[in-house]
Structure 1
């Protein structure tokens, strides 16, 4: 009698057409050092931030970008380009990257002692005095400040205090810290390896990998490239934004040789040179490229259909690491582009990012590999269909299921075509790609044909003198 029913009932079937889940685009994954000890931040933990204030609260901030390059990205992404979200990994570990500072005397001025920002607050010891009773400690600006408390035992006329402390030491960070890995003793991941933890933690897939100050190292660049090719083993099409060494490579004509020596020739790599400046601030080019790509994607509805080339950079000069100005003319900038290198050009109006090609160019002339926007579109479509149709895995493989996938993908692709994000696209379920044995084994292959628009890299106007206009203008 369990199935007995008397009355009216209803039930709902699943909609045959799936609503597409569009993959995010222009999300930077930034690995480096930040003064996280000033905010009790955990090292080697992917932190997603939506604003400058949120990033500073989670990671700390310092204008000393040489020590703390993550702060360079915080400033550029949020203040200059207004791009969010951004995922940061701070590899500076106070338990590992630290040093002891010998006891010495520090001057007291206006009841305060200025200690370096690197000082670890919980290690500060003041000879003859007690924290919380005689003084308090707090981070502000570029210092750890020791403030003498009223009512404590430190005399008001005291001119110096004898202090010792431990301090973080960013100089102890090496390539292995940036590359990261899995620690079998702690069972924790670190560095670039943490990109695979972003989607499980936040439900987003970063597609721009940045390591300012480190990406010019071939070992780091190689790992960045490998991660870009297979995030979580299934998400492809991300880009590793790499800086050519602006210390040793001082002339534009030498950059291709450096690129070749570093074996940077992948479609997953976007190679940038030189460095950029704005006022008294100095940036790695990769950081600005990430910000501009994110902004361009956002201006196109979160889609990477348009090239970031010839879009305005928030800079006032291109430069070498030592501050030497680099002023490229069009021919020089184009020479870099022809070798798969992105740069900055101040030709008409202001500085713009200049270059449409990934690092695989000119060795690889497949348009879907060497054009940045075309290559990124293939990755974006791939990530979108994975996110949308993951829920279909392990459902009964029936003709209705196959048709529903074909129909819904085609509807989505047609929408992209109508928005001019693709010139044309379709998906087909082809008999020759779906053998009986494969279908029996539960494998279905859907073939997407798509053509993103190539950037108009060259625009030529042909001018010709037409004598007929003379006759037309001057005849009676």
Structure 2
């Protein structure tokens, strides 16, 4: 550090808080789809319907902007939840923005008269398209500059020449309300398949806070989970509508309504979770799907980037649960378990902490017959982890001569990898075979070779019960005798 003045003694200099930066070797990388305030950028070309990797808060501000108005710019909720929470900041994340300020804007040009104080003026409008700002007879970059405040709610103008006391500023406004379900579905269909090709990252979790409550968007998300690019398998965190409903309704009635809404869903998958209601922290409202995604990524990172542990019962950074309008809602673990039994994940308060609560897939309904694989989130996520890993690990072997040695090498190598997972506790058992019954000659002559893998992962200890009984036998100890066992 260069000293600006002579020092002799002990000193302390205040520095800006260090921004959380994502590790370079993150295995679980969630993909969020929604609206970002890209109108804050001087150049927002190429920011619609493409995957953008975000590694920190500052990185987000540079690449997609940031606004505290999460109702209009829902991707900012994900940025804050990952990089500004006080429990488990974690990244990186990928965002796919559905908004294009060239199309989603108000057609009428707006004007505002501003006054400069110490060469600075403020436009208190969160929707100003930065690159459309003009001041008559002034040149941007020479006479003035413009940038958004850190909260994204105001534009700060700087007089670079010191000659302006006031000015009439013209600009256009972005209109995030013009973004429709169709736009978001288009972003899903166009952007998710580009994640691997643009970033060399396999998309492992999809989340669209504020949009996944809508049937068309949920259908697009669930339809994207299997064989992305013909190969990759992903997980979905989605929300049920958390509107407050009638104020006269009891909490139990609202829970019953949520369960009924889940039963009515047309797009149900074993490769995803459905969550309800929302949560709040210091006035900010979070979708439960976002919180579950953050927690999944953090838990995976603590386990060597292996998705062998559920996010359920892990601490989250909230003050309480709420509905979409911010109205607080409280219910205990007994009520939360009613939601879990219906395949709805939620949140609960336990021992001084708020926690995610629910280890099931959205396909789960207690007491019904179903594929045992789809009972717990970790079952499905581990299966997809193994499927994705095999494809990435042996994609380079495609079109090489399939000799007995190569076949054995694949068997031995993949078995050794699974043995490592068993040793680490991520699997209980795991075997890979090359079976004659699965490889008829008609397939082999076409160059199609099938390996068969079977595994068992540890199951979450969903309930731990101690059967306790009282006994009168100990009363004999009052008379010096030995109590019966």
Q: Give the structure-1-normalised TM-score.
A: 0.87
Q: Give 5+ residue unaligned stretches, structure 2.
A: 1-24, 247-253
Give the structure 1 partner of residue 329 of structure 2.
326
Q: 1:211 to 1:364 in 2, by over 3 A?
A: farther
Q: How far did 1:133 drift?
A: 5.4
Deviations 1:51-95 (A, max 9, x none): 222222111111111111111101111222322221111222121
Give the structure 1 partner of residue 231 of structure 2.
234
Deviations 1:345-371 (A, max 9, x none): 113321111001111111562221221
Q: 1:404 to 1:327 in 2, by over 3 A?
A: same
Paired residues for 1:37-56 under 5 Å: 37-39=39-41, 40-41=43-44, 42-44=46-48, 45-56=50-61
Task: Note if contact 1:274-1:343 (Cα within 8 Å) is conserved in structure 2.
Answer: yes
Give the structure 2 partner of residue 383 of structure 1.
388
Deviations 1:12-63 (A, max 9, x none): xxxxxxxxxxx96431101111122323233222111222222221111111
Deviations 1:200-241 (A, max 9, x none): 2222112111111111001101111111122112112x1111
Paired residues for 1:161-176 under 5 Å: 161-176=167-182
Q: Tell me, what secondary structure is at the counterpart of 1:448?
A: strand
Q: How far did 1:466 drift?
A: 5.5
Task: Note if contact 2:129-2:171 (Cα within 8 Å) is conserved in structure 1.
Answer: yes
Give the structure 2 partner of residue 266 of structure 1.
269
Give the structure 1 partner of residue 127 of structure 2.
118
**1:341 and 2:378 aligned:** no
Give the structure 2 partner of residue 6 of structure 1.
none
RMSD between superposed Cα atoms in Å: 2.2
Paired residues for 1:97-246 under 5 Å: 97-110=104-117, 111-115=119-123, 116-127=125-136, 129-132=138-141, 134-141=143-150, 142-150=153-161, 152=163, 154=164, 156=165, 158=166, 161-180=167-186, 190-236=187-233, 238-246=234-242
CA distance in 1, matches of 2:228, 2:109: 45
1:428 aligned to 433, 437, 440, which one? 433
Relative contact order, higher structure (CA 8 A, sep 6+): 1
Task: Note if contact 1:240-1:269 (Cα within 8 Å) is conserved in structure 2.
Answer: yes
Q: 1:214 to 1:471 in 2, by over 3 A?
A: same
Q: Give 5+ residue unaligned stretches, structure 1.
A: 1-22, 181-189
Q: 1:135 to 1:360 in 2, by over 3 A?
A: same
CA distance in 2, matches of 1:253, 1:335: 9
Deviations 1:297-321 (A, max 9, x none): 1111111101111111111100001
Task: Note if contact 1:76-1:287 (Cα within 8 Å) is conserved in structure 2.
Answer: yes
